[in-house]
Amino acid sequence: MPEKKPVDTIQLIENYKNLVYHVIHRTVRDRESHEEIFQEVFLNVLESLPRFEGRSKLSTWIAAIAVHTCYKFIQKSGKQEQSVSFGDWLEAVPEPGVPSNIQENLERNDVRRRLERHLGELSPRYALPLSLFYMEGMTYQEIAEILDLPMGTVKSHLFRGLKELRKKIEGGEDGYLLGRRP
């Protein structure tokens, strides 16, 4: 059995911090809690690392820990019933309300931020797979492992997520985000 090499903790944090932040950002609405969850994820990762068997990519494994840490955080904060399973929770998280006018005004002139806002308005069950696939370059299979969902469900969420996002963009004044003239 090959001996496990000691891990450079600092390098590990540097390599995966954006992925972890990405997952938290798409999963937990309460922005105030993001930093706390970010720390908790890395503490959990380092605590569990000796048990990592290398059956999946390290990035997939870390993203799965991030997702479950978010889930536990939401459960702990009393926003969900304790009996709700992770899968049910992912399916049931409601889409957030429309942002306030103040926030809308601040973001009005920023195309990327507006698209980001539309993505943020999607339910996590759509926004998380979309981000992991198109922004993090993960495969269907990796996303299925992270979210503990069948691959068919992941593909369905990706497709519906794209359609929902398109509808949101086309529904407002943001058609030009898709390359059309305003």
Partner 1 sequence: MDICSDDALKLDYLNGLLSEKDRVRFEEHLAVCIECRLEIEGLRQTAAAVADLTPLSVPDAWTAAVKDRLAVPSRPAPVHRITNIFLYALISAGVTAVLVLLTWLVLGGTIQRWLPGLSTAALGITEPRAARIIDLIAMILSLYSLMLIPSIIDNIYLLVRKGGRRTSADSFAR
Residues of the shown chain interacting with partner 1 in the complex, contacts defined by CB under 8 A: 6-7, 9-10, 13-14, 17-18, 20-22, 25, 35, 38-39, 42-43, 46-47, 49-50, 112, 115-116, 119, 130-131, 133-135, 152, 155-156, 158-160, 162-163, 165-166, 169-170, 177-179
Query: Given the complex with partner 1, which of 46 and 98 has the nearer CB atom?
Result: 46
Min separation Cβ 50 and partner 1, Å: 5
Query: Given the complex with partner 1, which of 38 and 89 has the nearer CB atom?
Result: 38
Min separation Cβ 167 and partner 1, Å: 9
3-state secondary structure the chain: CCCCCCCCHHHHHHHHHHHHHHHHHHHCCCHHHHHHHHHHHHHHHHHHHHHCCCCCCHHHHHHHHHHHHHHHHHHHCCCCCCCCCHHHHHHHCCCCCCCCHHHHHHHCCCHHHHHHHHHHHCCHHHHHHHHHHHHCCCCHHHHHHHHCCCHHHHHHHHHHHHHHHHHHHHHCCHHHHHCCCC
Query: Given the complex with partner 1, which of 68 and 155 has the nearer CB atom?
Result: 155
Query: Given the complex with partner 1, which of 170 and 173 has the nearer CB atom?
Result: 170
